[in-house]
């Protein structure tokens, strides 16, 4: 009897036992055989678990099929599991109700509608859950049809649905909601009709306050779910977006931006707006890249003004066009350095014969303090007043001093006779006395001691006039403007950004950096310098072959050692009224010129970056050479 009673309770009242017939055992018992956790934390999804249903996907609810809408409205009843009818009569009534529902006979006169049949079941069995679920589904179906009718703008059909819905038990809330929406649509219907007429007249967005856009917005304010008004806004926005595409196709990027901004005020987050904005930006960038490519071509052709104009056009089209930073750097270099870059080494080929000029280094532009302060050890009055010089024009400076081999090319090509050859000799080093003496045989082909020089030694025994003759020949041979550097350019390049006494620091160098007088140096006769850098030895007594030591930070060799060098300027006793732009300070007819930079025989004070000497333009010495400069 107990077993029979349990079976009857299990069969007809399973909720009393917290069980449902037909549920597999693995859903009621955990993996280990224990009861499942109340919240199901130990469960794993079944491989046969249903995927997202149609009711959870697709277009907005007001435009979805009625069946989908009804399924969403009836979601609350989805968990109900109808029980088997208790009598044949109820079973027959439920079957007829389902058939009537499927045949769209939802409500109406007579006893064959789904509503009447479900009501008949509930009259026989007031607690019949299958009939109750059927009424819930019926109510959801009617609500869905009402929404569909409103979405289509058919207020009369929605009113018919409302009348039917009022007949369904417990549908008062749904009926009230549908009635409210019908009244709202009746209110906005004249607005929609007027808006459609304005669209036909081409008054989509204007005049302000009397356009189709304004009326659709009023309609949505009264009925926020009105699909017709929403579609009207989408149509207007599509028209504005088409204007943006048409404008960008004609390179009217300002017009395209204005159209996109207007479209954003209509439906700010629409997918159509995002897609069009992406297309417009893609066209803009492609066009900007094309214009920037033209700018590069103009720059390559030597027309920086046109290149800059085209680059500005590219930036106006698309401010973030790729490659603009690299182009701006090239343009800056083109203006300052004739398309070279600071620190670049180059050599100009001769125009009329084989060969090339000296290797040149592009010197970066900048500013520096020229001269020395009064308190600097070794300071001389001619090195002041200290003043700022702005080297704003790019120039190139010889990587090394002009060599004997390079000067020989000039002499052979021109037959030039140097000052030493004309006036008879130069000043050479005398090992026997340890001093400089005059030699009537020394020429540019000889070294500091009057012996035959090596090809890669810096040329010495040349006057300022000889240096001028060489740069003029080099200009003719290459077609470029070569010259001697100005005094300001020389000191700027020598310092290479430093503000100390020497370009390497304030004291004796700690490693071989220049060919200067060192306490550890020895002459061929083992002479010592009387005044030299302590604890320094460079291994040379006299000039070394060029590039025997490290370059300074600008990439220039032997700027403060090896041999002193001629510059363009006339001699002035101080820097009062000296140019501030890096140009040479020249007075017509001046006889004395400036020599800059230390040499192999200069004492430490004479190696300072600010040190300068006065010399006649005809001076020749085994301690003086030159290097060339070139305008860019």
Residue 314 CB neighbour total at 10 angstroms: 23
Mean pLDDT, consecutive 10-residue stretches, the chain (632 aa), reads: 48 45 36 32 35 39 56 50 69 92 87 90 92 92 87 83 89 88 80 90 92 91 86 94 94 93 94 95 92 90 88 89 89 82 96 94 97 96 97 96 98 98 96 95 97 98 98 97 98 98 96 96 95 96 96 97 98 97 95 97 97 97 98 93
The upper half-sphere exposure of residue 439, i.e. CA atoms within 13 Å in the direction of its Cβ, equals 20
Distance CA(149)–CA(159), nearest Å, equals 9
Nearest to 155 by CA among 139, 178, 129, 174: 178
Q: Which helix (H) or strand (E) holds 216?
A: helix 212-222
**Structure tokens belonging to residue 242:** 């088409």
Residue 300's pLDDT is: 81
123-to-93, 117, 128, 132, 329 alpha-carbon distances in Å: 11, 10, 9, 11, 90
3-state secondary structure 312-349: HHHHHHCCCCCCHHHHHHHHHHHHHHCCCCCCCEECCE
The upper half-sphere exposure of residue 622, i.e. CA atoms within 13 Å in the direction of its Cβ, equals 29
Nearest to 194 by CA among 159, 218, 161: 218
Residue 1's pLDDT is: 53
pTM: 0.59
Cα 546–Cα 551–Cα 555 angle in degrees, nearest 5:
110
Residue 65's pLDDT is: 62
Question: Following DSSP, what letter does each residue of 113-165 receive, concatenated?
Answer: SHHHHHHHHHHH-TT-HHHHHHHHHHHHHHHHHHHHHHHTT-HHHHHHHHHHH
Distance CA(235)–CA(196), nearest Å, equals 11
Residue-level length of the chain = 632
CB 247 within 8 A of CB 253: yes
Sequence-distant (6+) residues with CB within 8 A of 267 are 233, 234, 237, 273
5-to-18, 23, 84 alpha-carbon distances in Å: 17, 21, 20
- What distance, in Å, lies between the first and last C-alpha atoms of the chain? 116
CB 245 within 8 A of CB 263: no
3-state secondary structure 342-383: CCCEECCECCCCCCECCCEEEECCEEEEECCCCCCCCCCHHH
């Amino acid at each position: 009897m107990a077993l029979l009673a349990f079976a009857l309770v299990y069969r007809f009242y399973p909720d009393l036992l917290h069980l449902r017939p037909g549920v597999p055992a693995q859903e009621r018992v955990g993996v280990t055989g224990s009861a499942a956790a109340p919240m199901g934390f130990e469960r794993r999804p079944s491989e046969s678990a249903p995927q997202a249903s149609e009711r959870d996907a697709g277009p907005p609810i007001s435009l979805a099929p009625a069946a989908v809408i009804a399924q969403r409205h009836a979601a609350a009843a989805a968990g109900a599991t109808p029980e088997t009818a208790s009598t044949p009569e109820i079973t027959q009534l439920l079957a007829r109700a389902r058939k009537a529902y499927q045949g769209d006979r939802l409500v109406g006169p007579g006893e064959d509608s789904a509503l009447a049949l479900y009501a008949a079941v509930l009259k026989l069995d007031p607690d019949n859950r299958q009939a109750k679920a059927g009424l819930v589904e019926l109510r959801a179906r009617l609500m869905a049809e009402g929404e569909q009718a409103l979405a289509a703008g058919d207020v009369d059909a929605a009113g018919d649905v409302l009348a039917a819905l009022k007949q369904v038990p417990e549908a008062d809330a749904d009926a009230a909601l549908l009635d409210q929406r019908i009244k709202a649509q009746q209110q906005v219907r004249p607005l929609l009709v007027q808006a459609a007429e304005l669209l036909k007249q081409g008054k989509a967005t204007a005049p302000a306050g009397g356009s189709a856009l304004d009326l659709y917005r009023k309609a949505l304010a009264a009925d926020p779910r009105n699909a017709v008004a929403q579609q009207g806004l989408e149509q207007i926005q599509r028209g504005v977006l088409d204007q943006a595409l048409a404008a960008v196709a004609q390179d009217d990027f300002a017009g395209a931006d204005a159209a996109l901004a207007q479209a954003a005020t209509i439906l700010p987050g629409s997918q159509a707006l995002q897609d069009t904005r992406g297309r417009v930006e893609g066209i803009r960038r492609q066009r900007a890249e094309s214009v920037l490519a033209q700018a590069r071509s103009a720059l390559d052709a030597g027309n920086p003004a046109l290149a800059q104009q085209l680059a500005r056009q590219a930036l106006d089209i698309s401010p973030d066009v790729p490659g603009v930073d690299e182009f701006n750097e090239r343009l800056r270099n083109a203006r300052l350095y004739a398309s070279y870059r600071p620190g670049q080494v180059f050599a100009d080929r001769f125009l009329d014969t084989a060969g090339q000029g000296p290797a040149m280094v592009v010197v970066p532009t900048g500013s520096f303090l020229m001269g020395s302060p009064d308190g600097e050890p070794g300071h001389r009055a001619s090195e002041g007043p200290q003043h700022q010089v702005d080297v704003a024009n790019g120039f190139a400076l010889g990587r090394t001093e002009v060599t004997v081999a390079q000067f020989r090319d000039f002499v052979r090509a021109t037959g030039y006779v140097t000052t030493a050859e004309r006036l008879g000799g130069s000043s050479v080093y005398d090992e026997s006395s340890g001093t400089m003496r005059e030699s009537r045989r020394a020429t540019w082909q000889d070294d500091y001691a009057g012996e035959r020089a090596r090809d890669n030694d810096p040329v010495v025994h040349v006057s300022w006039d000889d240096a001028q003759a060489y740069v003029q020949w080099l200009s003719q041979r290459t077609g470029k403007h070569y010259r001697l550097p100005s005094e300001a350019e020389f000191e700027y390049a020598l310092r290479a950004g430093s503000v100390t006494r020497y370009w390497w620091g304030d004291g004796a160098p700690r490693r071989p950096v220049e060919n200067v007088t060192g306490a550890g140096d020895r002459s061929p006769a083992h002479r010592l310098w009387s005044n030299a850098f302590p604890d320094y030895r460079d291994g040379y007594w006299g000039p070394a072959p060029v590039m025997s030591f490290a370059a300074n930070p600008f990439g220039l060799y032997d700027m403060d050692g090896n041999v002193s060098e001629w510059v363009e300027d006339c001699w002035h006793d101080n820097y009062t009224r000296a140019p501030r732009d890096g140009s040479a300070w020249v007075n017509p007819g001046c006889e004395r010129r400036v020599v800059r930079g230390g040499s192999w025989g200069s004492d430490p004070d004479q190696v300072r970056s600010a040190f300068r000497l006065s010399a006649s333009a005809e001076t020749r010495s085994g301690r003086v050479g030159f290097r060339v400069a070139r305008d860019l």
